[in-house]
Amino acid sequence: MLFTSCENEEPPISFASNPGFFTKWVLSKEGATCNQGGTYTGSNQNHKTELIILPNLTYNYVIDGELVQTGSFFAQNGNITFTPSIHPNDINLYSTYILTGPNLFITTTELLNSGSREICNVKRVYTRER
């Protein structure tokens, strides 16, 4: 007997398959919609937040020129996992991402804050630094 699968699973993202993903991204917009009806727009205007994606599948997270976190990531089929997470109140193992031209959209499910029970869908837009 021979079994075949019709599912065409995309391989994990790599520098060879998508070199444009591996660059410095600057947070340009942030907003959330929460399950108790609240919404908010991020206040990143006061800080420069950079997500630097490196070809060896690691990242650096930099705020105002200071390295605040390093780790690894895995991206496949529109899902991305940062280890450790770059979003402190993240409640899912993975986030979703969309790469469109100069923008990287990352959407996470997070608690409103560390002591909250309110769950929010947070969308962040990163722009490729030129």
Q: What pLDDT is attached to residue 3?
A: 52
Q: What pLDDT is attached to residue 7?
A: 56
pTM: 0.85
Q: What pLDDT is attached to residue 69?
A: 97
Fold entry, domain 19-128 = Lipocalin (2.40.128)
Closest-CA residue to 69 (of 57, 56, 87, 89): 87
Residues of the chain with pLDDT under 70: 1-8, 43-45
Token pair belonging to 107: 């959407």
CA quadruple 53, 57, 58, 59: dihedral, nearest 10: 20
CA distance linking residue 126 with residue 116, whole number of Å = 26
Q: What phi and psi, each to the nearest 5 degrees, are found at residue 19?
A: -60, -25
Q: What pLDDT is attached to residue 16?
A: 94
